[in-house]
A and B are shown apart, each in its own frame.
Chain A
Amino acid sequence: MSFFKGFKVTAEQIGHVVTVQYPEHKRPKPERFHGRHVLNRYEDGMEKCIGCELCAGVCPARCIYVRGADNPEDAPVSPGERYGFVYEINYLRCIHCDLCVEACPTEAITESKLFEFSFTNRQDAIYTKSELVVADDGNPQQLPWEDWNETSRQDTSSWMRATSPSGSAAFEGTTQWSGELGYGVRPPEPPQVVARPKPLDSEAPAADPEGGDGH
């Protein structure tokens, strides 16, 4: 009897169309799909990456290579002293674990839901900064070898991070999701609604859940 039981799932699918005509038609991706990375910018165009190498440090696949440099005083690339001078991700090694996104102190690196790219040589699998950094509209650049269709625009969006106490002990151990930076703003998930801490700020870490002014 158990033999037939095993076919139960299959049998239930009879009559349903479960395949789609890929690549002409693409399914919507799950909300937290881990695709290829983007390097975000602030609204004024400054890069968020400060070249701190925490992403490279945390990467279990050792696929990220970052070098920092002094921001040129007359034409700063990012706010503050340091910017990401070199930024490379080797997609032959990347396992899309998103730890780099978690580690990033400035939310400079996030993962989009784009994943369809192929290469004809190994060198091309290394995305450099010029390819990873978002375009002026804040969305990822479409690179020639990436397969985008009209639905892909929404795949360029991505959630920020999974576990984020944001420096506040009030949320230690609480799983949180913070809002999306690149593409639209979705409501935060339930645990954060109660009292969302201010993001970790390099100058004044706010620990006050009531958000009183810093005087």
Chain B
Amino acid sequence: MSMTNADYEKAKRNRTLKLKLWLLFLILPPAAILIVFVFVPMGSAVWYSVFDWDGLVRKEFIGLANFQDILFNPLKNKVLFNAFMNNVKVFVSLMLVQNGIALVIALLLARNPKGYRFYQVVFFLPVILSTVIIGFQWKLFLNPVFGLVNKFLHNIGLHDWALPWLGLPETALNSMLLVNSWHWFGFPTLVFLAAIHRIPKDFIEAARLDGASEWRIAREIIWPLMAPAITIITVLTFIGSFNWFEIPYIMNGLEGSPAGSTDMLGLMFYRTAFGSVSAGGSNFGSGSALAVLMFIFIFVFSIIATKYLTSREVEMN
């Protein structure tokens, strides 16, 4: 009955302790999974990158020599630069083509045309399909001899247009980019559409009453207010572009064939780390160094881009 002040304090501390244990119980399991399967391997990759490797065997510590080798060895940096520029091209093209088409379609769907639901479902359908399936399917379609694309072009009389799409340095990457756009455009479309729907109706109706043209409404009201969606799609496209691997790997193999025109940083990493039949043995050191460079580049750029783009967003509340 007679509890001292200290007893009360103790009782309170017990309550707090119980709460802390409960929080620990909630956070620890997911955190442990993340640490063990993401943070530790990522950290190890950084660790690996500062060692000399004889193929698969770790030898002595060599500091930044692996990085230096990738960045400044004239032959390797030629490959690196080529792959990097291809990644840049992928990013720019996807922004313009894939996201551009998506924006147009989103603006059209925002007008709530007949069949709205149907179109939404159809345009999203390719997004859920595996890249492996899409890659193989289009590789078959684009086959210069048996492919449906060229057969179709012949059928409609465009014989000169029937090209070995994936075999020409000028068309291979572009074909893959179109395939990628076909695969993914539904995603930005729906993100943009959701963003447009979030714009209060009053804004648009007020502008209509003021006599603004549809084009002006799109440009001066919808576009600026969509900024958050543009930010997220830009950053996602950026991360996707610089991690691009599946489509080029499946459609034209590890070497970025033909003649390096579809080489990507992802393919280069894979070849460097694991080797390939033609490209030779594996080098975990260089591979890890390349991985670290890519990681830093992607991470830093995503953050800068997010910061920059977010600063342009208009508050809408």
Does A pair with B? no
Chain B residues in the interface with A (C-beta under 8 A): none
